[in-house]
Amino acid sequence: MGTADTWGRIHLIQGDITREAADAIVNAANTSLLGGGGVDGAIHQAAGPELLAECRKLGGCPTGEARITSAYRLPARYVIHTPGPVYRGGCQGEAELLAACYASALRLAADHDCRTVTFPAISCGVYGYPIEDAARVALGAVRDFLERSALPERVTWVLFSQPDLAAYRGVLEKLRSSISP
């Protein structure tokens, strides 16, 4: 399901998310919001120490929710931090929590008038979520949100590796081919 118009607002590229300009960059954070490895570390490194100082004031964030901060030296207005679920076999509510991350992040982006948002593959690194399963949940959650909201106008996943981009592309094609008339 999903109209052609909605799918036209979703884009997939390969790259380093810290180098892509957007109104909001989403960070695959941990619940402390105090930084970590992977994309979280790269975002803090590129933003500068002011980002960590602002995050310290937030007092953490539960898995599936999101918090917004300034983006400092990143080419963005905001960073939206959302802790994804740790993958524990798939029967521990991981899909619902991952979908909630995307919906929470997009709600904050829309509330802050963001027209463009970039996402990494949340939970697909250290947190171990299988990339195809995660792509199905992620793309479905974003499609559902965009169907109901004019903002953001454009959502772009910046996938770090070629295999991750290929996995997302494959899932996107399958979902698109079941477009409703």
Establish if 133 lies at the interface with ligand ADP (CB under 6 A).
Answer: no
CB of 61 to ligand ADP, least distance (A): 13
Binder among 2, 35, 125, 152 for ligand ADP (CB under 6 A)? 125
Establish if 63 lies at the interface with ligand ADP (CB under 6 A).
Answer: no
Binder among 127, 141, 155, 168 for ligand ADP (CB under 6 A)? 127
Pairing of strands 22-29, 10-14: unpaired
Query: Looking only at residues 160 through 179 of this chain, which bind ligand ADP when binding is defined by CB under 6 A?
Result: 160-161, 164
CB of 129 to ligand ADP, least distance (A): 7
Between 96 and 111, name the residue whose CB sits nearer to ligand ADP. 96
CB of 37 to ligand ADP, least distance (A): 6
Nearest of 49, 52, 25, 29 to residue 40 by alpha carbon? 29
Cross-strand pairs, 14: 159
Give the C-alpha separation, 157 to 140, whole Å: 13
For 76, 90, 96, 110, 170, the CA distances from 103, given in Å and listed in that order, are 20, 19, 10, 10, 22
**If you compute the radius of gyration of the chain from its CA atoms, what whole number of angstroms results?**
15
CB of 175 to ligand ADP, least distance (A): 19
Q: How many CB atoms lie within 10 A of CB 34?
A: 14
Under the rule (CB under 6 A), what is the footprint of ligand ADP? 16-18, 28, 38-40, 42, 84, 120-127, 158, 160-161, 164
Residues marked active site are found at 40
